[in-house]
Amino acid sequence: MFRQTFRMKAILLFVATLAFVLSPLWSPSFKGYDPSMFPNPVDKPAVQPAGWAFSIWSLIYLWLVIHAAWGLFKRAEVSGWDQPRWPLFLSLALGASWLVVATSQPWLATLQIWIMWAAAVWAMARAPRTLEPALLSWPISLYAGWLTAASAVGTGVVLIGYNIGSETVVTLLMLSLVAAISLTLILWLRPPRGYALGVIWALIGVIAANWGHDVIMLPACIYALALLVLTFWQPRSPRHGYSH
């Protein structure tokens, strides 16, 4: 009975992963929110990373597909592999429609990506750290790390677009939010380093996009350095979640 349930969840996760990865093929072209959608159009909001930073999606897509395929065809009935499946399924199933929503309803897309983020963190917390980490916990942690930054960035773009705070103030608040969430999760869950690397990559993108604008660039540098130090100089045994 349990084995049949495990396999069903593995199939659902595999389908959701493919739908998520292939969603750009049937969604309108999306390169960030269209400034014309907002009362206060800003072409390149300071909170948004440089365009090249979004190339990380190629790695995330590939790694998630490998994770789902290996989990279905090789580890469908393994208990440890089953633990993160439901929350990851929820995140990716929502993600399959995110691009469509984002092109027409920024506020709804903001809510949706935060739910995706929460489900991804839930999956990361449930994924065993020591069971084939390169295939199981690392793909989920990198995805959760990038979503931590992407959720705050998307929120910042919407707030700026609707004139809810100045661009600089909103950007600093969102960067501080990213740092607070990620540092808390690293201290609490001690996730795989892929989580911090996903966040750091986004912060590097923000630094590059605001090069020379010290009031934004310097806090982003400090946050990225703090994440780097905390991630690589702390004990690696998880405090919470599943360790086996």
Domain boundary assignment for the chain: 2-28+42-232
Evaluate whether 53 touches 205 at the Cβ level (below 8 Å): yes
Q: What is the pLDDT of residue 183?
A: 95
Report the mean per-residue pLDDT for the chain. 92
* Residue type, position 12, single letter: L
Residue 42 token pair: 């800003």
- In tens, the pLDDT along 181-194 reads 999 999 999 999 99
Q: How far is residue 214's CA from residue 150's CA, in Å, rounded to a whole number?
A: 22
Q: What is the pTM of this model?
A: 0.93
Q: How far is residue 95's CA from residue 37's CA, in Å, rounded to a whole number?
A: 21
Q: How far is residue 191's CA from residue 91's CA, in Å, rounded to a whole number?
A: 18
Question: Residues 41-62: what's their mean pLDDT?
Answer: 94
Question: For residue 42, with 0-12 CB atoms within 10 Å meaning exposed, 13-18 middle and 19 or more buried, which class applies?
Answer: middle
Q: What is the pLDDT of residue 222?
A: 96
Q: What is the pLDDT of residue 1?
A: 55
Question: Residues 118-134: what's their mean pLDDT?
Answer: 96
Q: How far is residue 26's CA from residue 198's CA, in Å, rounded to a whole number?
A: 26
Classify 142 as helix, strand or coil: helix
Question: Residues 113-127: what's their mean pLDDT?
Answer: 98
The end-to-end CA distance of the chain, in Å, is 22
Q: What angle do CA 97, 86, 59 make, to 5 degrees?
A: 60
Q: What is the pLDDT of residue 156?
A: 97
Question: Residues 132-138: what's their mean pLDDT?
Answer: 96
Question: Residues 70-90: what's their mean pLDDT?
Answer: 96
